């Protein structure tokens, strides 16, 4: 394994790793089966309990995507395909097999883009309140435009309990503020046009030939549960489940319930999933 890993003195903080030529900010916790966590557009909170809950049943790899957080942006990276191919290189360089991939929102979209390209190193896929496709007609908005809203308006759409979003930005250290700014910039770079979806993804979802679970916050008003049900319907054999008292970020509002569903799914015997079609 050629990847170089550097661990910070604080084990709760994110360390760094140079993988496929890009220096990433990355959290790595636990032992056992590999679990790749792909974060939403607002990044990762190292202190959040969700990753620890997953790490009880496997080894969690939670990088900040290239261009997000403190991770380098690879030369020429400009769209979601670039990120998806990068993560295929990531899995190969770390020689990870039978990987459980868990993606939230933007990270769910990224997980789907990885899986339509190759599932050779994947075992199962969990998409949580994922964006990534267009399900309605061209005049109907499927995904709320968070770039056009105030922080209070965003909180009302994202959270079952909007008080979860309350924080005083003036009290945050410079490195956290820098990550917030980079996350917003990278979200626009990779998801602005077309907004938070890939027009070709929907017609390629049939290629996903590993078991897939779609988890959705019942109070999500960024991408509503009906959007999630439609998304799941394009993936062969996919299952859809709601998470109570959660919005667009159930891993934050309901970490125990979300982790419990993921880990139960991970332990299930893999059912037969129709083979992907060959053009």
Q: What is the CATH number of the domain that holds 192?
A: 3.40.50.1820
pTM of the model: 0.92
Q: What is the mean pLDDT of each run of 10 residues along the chain (279 residues)?
A: 45 79 96 97 91 97 97 96 98 98 98 98 98 94 94 94 82 90 96 96 98 98 98 98 98 98 93 51
Query: What is the structure's pLDDT at 133?
Result: 98
- Which tokens in the block code for residue 213? 């679970």
Does residue 13 belong to any structural domain of this protein? yes
Of 182, 3, 5, 189, residue with least CA distance to 83: 189
Query: What is the structure's pLDDT at 165?
Result: 79
Contacts of 33 by beta carbon, 8 Å cutoff, 6+ apart: 57, 58, 59, 98, 99, 100, 123, 266
Does residue 274 belong to any structural domain of this protein? no
Distance of alpha carbon 143 from the chain centroid: 16
The total of structural domains in the chain comes to 1
Residue with tokens 């700014």, as numbered in its chain: 181
CB 213 within 8 A of CB 265: yes
Q: Residue 169: give the domain boundaries.
A: 4-267
């Amino acid at each position: 394994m050629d990847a170089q890993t550097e661990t910070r003195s604080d084990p709760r903080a994110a360390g760094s790793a140079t993988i496929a030529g890009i220096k990433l900010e990355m959290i790595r916790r636990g032992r056992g089966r590999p679990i790749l966590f792909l974060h939403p557009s607002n990044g990762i909170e190292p202190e959040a309990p969700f990753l620890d809950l997953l790490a009880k049943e496997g080894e969690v790899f939670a990088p900040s995507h290239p261009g997000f957080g403190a991770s380098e942006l690879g030369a020429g990276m400009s769209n979601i395909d670039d990120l998806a191919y990068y993560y295929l290189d990531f899995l190969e360089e770390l020689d990870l097999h039978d990987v459980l991939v868990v993606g939230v929102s933007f990270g769910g979209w990224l997980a789907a883009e990885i899986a339509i390209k190759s599932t050779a190193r994947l075992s199962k896929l969990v998409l949580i309140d994922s964006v990534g496709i267009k399900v309605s007609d061209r005049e109907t908005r499927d995904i709320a435009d968070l770039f056009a809203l105030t922080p209070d308006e965003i909180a009302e759409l994202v959270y079952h309990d909007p008080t979860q979003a309350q924080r005083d930005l003036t009290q945050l250290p410079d490195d956290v503020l820098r990550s917030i700014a980079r996350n917003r910039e990278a979200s626009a770079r990779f998801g602005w046009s077309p907004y938070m979806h890939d027009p070709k993804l929907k017609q390629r979802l049939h290629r996903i030939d590993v078991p897939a679970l779609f988890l959705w916050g019942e109070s999500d008003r960024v991408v509503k549960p009906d959007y999630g049900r439609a998304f799941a319907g394009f993936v062969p054999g996919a299952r859809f489940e709601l998470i109570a008292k959660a919005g667009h970020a159930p891993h934050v509002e309901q970490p125990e319930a979300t982790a419990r569903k993921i880990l139960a799914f991970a332990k299930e015997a893999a059912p037969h999933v129709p083979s992907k079609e060959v053009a």
